[in-house]
Amino acid sequence: MGELFKAHDESLFREAVLKFMTEACEADPKMVLQFRDEAEVTGRLDHPGVVVPVYGIGEDWTGRRFYAMRFIDGQELKKVIYDYHRARSTHSTRAKDRESLFALLENLRSACNTIAYAHHVGIVHCDLKPSNIMIGKFGETYVLDWGLAANFQRSETVAACSEPTVRLHSGGSESITDSRGGTLEYMSPNSFSAATF
């Protein structure tokens, strides 16, 4: 749905990422709405595991839509897992293996807490996989790519808590059964009937 570019913010002297819509998506009004929803969800979820602040949303001089967000210096969980298994097959020590495994489990726990928070405020990610989880230079864990996220109706018990339900400005989806898609290998079995591939 989008293309990412590393950029330099000249007014605040910081690295940033610009996410532009692809030309194919620009032609589809549903994809344009989904792109705006992604920027809004990413910007509104208030949790340390979703601290990829959205700096702004707009259009470039050609009218191509984009949003700007914080640059995260790190690696995808997918690569961290691969490196862990590769190191185990070489000359690593048993103590080093345990330390690396516990660090990976801590990253997984952190990602689960982030997703639990999102569910608590009425948002489902819909495309959770190791390549959408980033591990920062100091072990911090971020859940990225909320482009397929959907609203759902929270139960009265959950809605009674102090966290307000996140409702998208566009109206978003009240159902997680509409055609949101996802990555086949990581979708729950009950998603197959509604998914688009």
Buried b (16+ CB within 10 A) or exposed e, 18-56: bbbbeeebeeeeebeebbbbbbbbbbbbebebbebebee
Residue bearing tokens 């470039």: 60
Among the listed residues 28, 60, 127, 178, the single catalytic one is 127
Looking up tokens 């591990």 gives 135
Pure H helices in the chain: 23-26, 29-44, 77-88, 94-120, 156-159
Indicate the DSSP class of residue 49.
G
> Could you give the CA distance from residue 121 to residue 123 in angstroms, rounded to a whole number?
6
Residue with tokens 């009004």: 29
Q: Contact, 34 vs 85, CB < 8 A?
A: no
Q: Is 178 in the active site?
A: no
Which tokens go with 120? Answer: 């608590």
User: Would the CA dihedral through 85, 87, 91, 93 be positive or negative?
Assistant: negative
Residues classed as catalytic: 127
